[in-house]
Amino acid sequence: MSTVRRPGIQRSYIREVSKQTSILRLQGFLFFGTIASVERTIREAIEGPGWQRNPVRFLVVDLSLVAGVDMSSAEAFVRVQRMLAPKYITLVFCGFGPDSAVGRSLRSVGVLGGERVELFSTFNDAMEWTENAYLRAWFRSQKAETSPMVALPGRQDADIAFQRSLASSPRRSHLDDAGNRTIAHSTIPHPPDEEEPYNTLIKTLSSYGQLDGDQFRRLSPYFTRLAVPEGLVLFRQNDPSDGLYIVESGILRAVYQFSEHTPSIEESMVPGTLAGELTGLSSMPRNATVTVERAAVLWKLGIGSLKKLEEDDPVLATAFTRVLLKEAKIDYDILLSALATRQ
């Protein structure tokens, strides 16, 4: 998965439907002697028995460890694109720029910029974009009044034509079935006239269990509403912590710099997710710089309010903290996984 923080029900949906994403990571120099096996692997994936069991929607080809591509290999990717097009499979390249040596080789044969071909500089950006496409497909298949479109981070052109002509295909049915089992299911139904931050608390935390509707209602008075503009730095890495935030609307972007000599890693936070929860709970310095990527409405639980909650209702405070830690553990597992697989 990408490092985007998403509500638990959205992540459950993505875990299921991302079986339609196939990832191919290559390394070394691609030339006529090595590209044949790559082409054969792709052909077997979309034409062999495996296609019936697991039809592919996106083929992500990570070339971040590829030093160069000769002409025969570049032309092989043209054949691959032609092979994928009739099955409506999008070829997603990542790990290089259009003006790099690899990019120039692929541009010279016209594969970059071709129909159903996308390019991203990082593997994480590519995965984020495919996840957004799956989410858009689900929400646009539902009636607008019952399933409004969600805020999605990153590149905003993931309007993949999930072909109407293939509406009854196994891939389309898989998306519908997964959405009905995850996104369409609400753990705790709530009346439409409930005020914020009650609804946002439920959206963010209910899938992690342990809290009921009455407890969410009792938590609400401890939160303060903040409307923050695009571009605002919410906090910087190593700043003292002043609490935690829950995102009602908009998008935040966190940048982690783990050491001087390693590249930073980024993480988006969409509505229904937390920001600054571990440092907020522990009162430790901030471990990331968080900026408002898209104008947002946040609900802040300051350190003083958290202490007051602990004094007023220690049982609720303990249950609430456990739920926050459970969600934070999942978020950081995904972040660590992204770090471990990054080359």
More confident residue, 272 or 161: 272
The encoded tokens of residue 115 equal 């129909």
Q: What is the mean pLDDT of residues 253-269?
A: 87
Q: Are residues 80 and 34 in the same domain?
A: yes
CA distance 214 to 27: 54
Counting the structural domains of the chain, the total is 2
| Block residue for tokens 């695009």 | 230
Q: What is the model's pTM?
A: 0.88
* Separation CA 130–CA 123 (nearest Å): 11
Q: Which of 152-156, 261-265, 305-309 has the lowest mean pLDDT?
A: 152-156
Residues 111 and 248 in one domain: no
Residue 194, token pair as written in the block: 């409930």
Do 316 and 243 share a structural domain? yes
What's the CATH number where 241 sits?
2.60.120.10
pLDDT of residue 156: 67
Instruction: Please check whether residues 42 and 129 belong to one and the same domain.
Output: yes
Q: 262: Cβ–Cβ under 8 A, 6 or more apart, which residues?
A: none
Residue 193 resides in a domain: no
- CA angle 339–46–91, rounded 5-degree value: 50
- Evaluate if residue 187 carries a pLDDT over 90: no
Separation between Cα atoms, residue 219 and residue 326, nearest integer Å: 18
CA distance 252 to 254: 7
For residues 256-283, average pLDDT: 89
Q: 239 pLDDT exceeds 80?
A: yes
Residues 25 and 93 in one domain: yes
Please count the other Cβ atoms lying within 10 Å of the Cβ belonging to residue 1: 16
**Cis before 240? omega within 30:** no
Please report the sign of the dihedral spanned by the C-alpha atoms of residue 248, residue 223, residue 291, residue 253: negative
| Listed range (21-30, 252-261, 286-295, 315-324) with the worst mean pLDDT | 252-261
Q: Are residues 80 and 210 in the same domain?
A: no
Tell me whether residue 2 is in a domain: no
Give yes or no: residues 280 and 160 share one domain: no
| pLDDT tens, position by position, 111-147 | 998 889 999 999 999 999 999 999 988 888 876 444 4
Q: Do 165 and 202 sit in the same domain of this protein?
A: no
The answer to whether residues 292 and 218 touch, using CB atoms and an 8 Å cutoff, is no
Residue 245 CB coordination number (10 Å): 27
Asked if residue 228 and residue 101 are part of one domain, the reply reads no
Domain residues for the domain of 162 are 8-181
